[in-house]
Copies of this chain bind each other. A is one copy, B any other.
Amino acid sequence: MTRYSRQTRMLVAVDCIIFGFDGQDLKLLLIKRGFDPEKGKWSLMGGFVQPEEALDAAAVRTLNKLTGLDGVYMEQLAAFGTPQRDPMERTLSVAYFALIDINLYKQQLSDEYKAEWFSLRDIPKLIFDHADMVHEAQARLRYKAAIHPILFELLPPKFTIPQLQILFEAVYDAGFDKRNFSRKVLSTGLLVKQKEKERASSKRGAFYYKLDKRKYSAKFHAFLNFVSDPGNLR
């Protein structure tokens, strides 16, 4: 077999927008870029797609290289391909966003990549078009979380309803009525009440809940309307 003649080949990278939730704020995992151009600047974790590697596989590998985690929720966000986005050489980047339980990766941060969690309200200047990617990922997260039970991916296996509410409030930068909120999330039937209580954040203690995994898989793509019109918020 021959090749397509007279066409330009270009580099293809993946970049990961990695969200976490520390119990108060929505956070983003950034690294200090380790090579030129823009060496030492804050950046999303990324990497080049390898010759025999699928895009999703490259994204999974890149996330794993930084965090050591597997089985993380990831979704393709979009392809970014402005000609001069990387001044060194034309590079197309396929952005993925990931939602991780921050507890699984908040220790050994100061390794080879100089990774740090940043509050989304306080993101440093980023290289290339990474700020655009972050904004688009945040918009997508708000959009999806309004309809689908996606934010559970940011929580540990056991969580309380007040914790869940704080998470929603962080994502939408808005307050919700706790009575309506708990009625709504419980009405999905996705949550299983535990006997144990979380006692760190209040005297009375709040009951833990776990996801009902069967129902969670079944209803993941259903329209659940957690937030009526996220476009009208803020």
What CA separation (Å) do A89 and B54 show in the bound complex?
Answer: 14
A interface, CB within 8 angstroms of B: 1-4, 7-12, 37, 48-55, 76, 78-83, 87-92, 94, 146, 221-223, 228-232
CA A76 to CA B87, docked complex, whole Å: 24
Given A94-B79, A222-B229, CB of A48 within 8 Å of CB of B8: yes
**In the assembled complex, which residues on chain B have CB atoms less than 8 Å from the CB atom of A91?**
4
The answer to whether B82 and A79 have CB atoms under 8 Å apart is: no
Q: How far is the CA of A51 from the CA of B8 in the complex (A)?
A: 6
- Chain A interface SS verdict (over half): loop
Closest to A78 in B: B76
Known: A1-B89, A51-B83, A223-B228. 19 other contacts (CB 8 A): A1-B88, A3-B89, A4-B11, A4-B89, A4-B91, A7-B11, A8-B11, A8-B48, A8-B50, A49-B81, A54-B81, A55-B79, A55-B80, A55-B82, A79-B94, A92-B92, A146-B223, A221-B231, A222-B232
Which of B9, B49, B230 interacts with A223 by CB under 8 Å?
A: B230
Cβ–Cβ < 8 Å partners of A1 in chain B: 37, 87-89
Which residues of chain B come closer than 8 Å to A228, judged between CB atoms? 223
User: Cα distance A53–B83 when bound, in Å?
Assistant: 6
17 contacts between A and B (CB under 8 A): A1-B87, A2-B88, A4-B11, A4-B89, A4-B91, A7-B11, A9-B9, A9-B10, A12-B92, A49-B81, A54-B83, A55-B79, A55-B81, A55-B92, A78-B79, A222-B232, A223-B229
